[in-house]
Chain A
Amino acid sequence: MTVKELSDRFDVQVVAGEKGLNRTIDGGYCGDLLSDVMANAPQRCIWLTVQGHQNVVAIAVLKEMAAIVLTSGYKPDPETVEKAGVEGIPILAWKGSAYDLVGLIHAAGVRNSDG
């Protein structure tokens, strides 16, 4: 599934990094402690977090992530939006809890290779 397909299918709003919408999602990760995400998120995953600080973009680049989803209605900082645009990392916004969106994505067949 691409980020664009996910956004359309589950009505997840794109708020930044539109040029990366064709990235393919290979798995997923949830976390707000960025040191943990850096250490443990799989490459090319979609990452669900409430952390809107600009460091999320750097971590997404490092992990070649497909996209970042800010859950529970959290908003990215202005610098985060700007960096996501430069790097082409899509940032999506989901008003509900991460739990519900994970359920949808997982049921649609997006799994981690070791999961």
Chain B
Amino acid sequence: MLEHFKADLHIHTCLSPCTEWEMSPKKIVERSLKKDLDIIAICDHNSVENAGAAIRSVKSNPLCVIPGMEICSKEEVHVLALFGELEQALVMQQHVYSHLPGQNEAKVFGYQIIADENDEVLGESSRLLIGATELGLQEIVTKARSLGGVTIASHVDRPAFGIIGKLGFIPDDLRIDGVEISYRIPLKTARDSIPGIKDFPCVTSSDAHHPDDIGRAWTSFLLAAPTVEEIRLALKGEKGRKVEI
């Protein structure tokens, strides 16, 4: 049986340098439950290190937490990669880390806090997570797909790090599963206001950097279960699964 699921697929934790401790994995889960979200994806910049804590802090609550990351390509395009299993996401992270130059300067870019499910600080990431990887967009999408991931081009309506702003248009041979419209534009009117998204499936999400942002935009999915595989089917519009606009 198919059911409606309310999903916010783009949330940053305190690991992203542009966020604060108020976005700890535990606090994000609490806030998401208050917002009646059924599915969230943890998507920090170029890292998945806080996703496990968010998954574990759910406990018996009815919230599905997807491990993901927002990867910055060498063209400086942001793309979300979502995975069904944390192990797949960790393999992707290893690939990203081996192509991510630079060290973070916390005083300039912000602190990158790794926390556990009980709000204990485990440490800080010293990598330059805000930076661009040396991986081409095509390479990122191909790698994520080979690991079973779903890829969605982030905030395509934004000039900064959006694929259309950066690359002028979406290359025909890029096999992304969908595009994300930022909270600024209603999903209903996205195709009219952003012609460059052509026929790509659209979702919207909060890109939350602060607790109040969580759930400010969300996508309604019709799925059999709250999983990445089901989301992939919904983006393709297969087997009755769909994005409800």
Interface positions of A (Cβ within 8 A of B): 33-35, 37-38, 51, 53-55, 58-59, 77, 79
Contacts and interface: CB of A to CB of B under 8 A. Distances in A.
Interface residues of B, number: 12
B136 A35 contact: no
Given A51-B75, A53-B75, A53-B137, A37 B171 contact: no
Contacts, number: 34
27 contacts: A33-B159, A33-B165, A33-B166, A34-B165, A34-B166, A34-B167, A34-B168, A35-B159, A35-B164, A35-B167, A37-B168, A38-B169, A51-B75, A51-B166, A51-B167, A53-B75, A53-B136, A53-B137, A53-B167, A53-B171, A54-B171, A55-B168, A55-B171, A58-B168, A58-B169, A59-B168, A79-B138
Contacts of A33: 159, 165-166
A77 B138 CA distance: 11
Interface of B: 75, 136-138, 159, 164-169, 171
B169 A55 contact: yes
**Which residue, A38, A51, A55, has most C-beta atoms of chain B within 10 A?**
A55
Contacts of A58: 168-169
B136 to A, nearest CB: 6
Which 7 A-B residue pairings sit nearest by Cβ, starting from the closest? A34-B168, A55-B167, A38-B168, A35-B165, A53-B75, A34-B167, A35-B168
A96 B223 CA distance: 53
A59 to B, nearest CB: 6
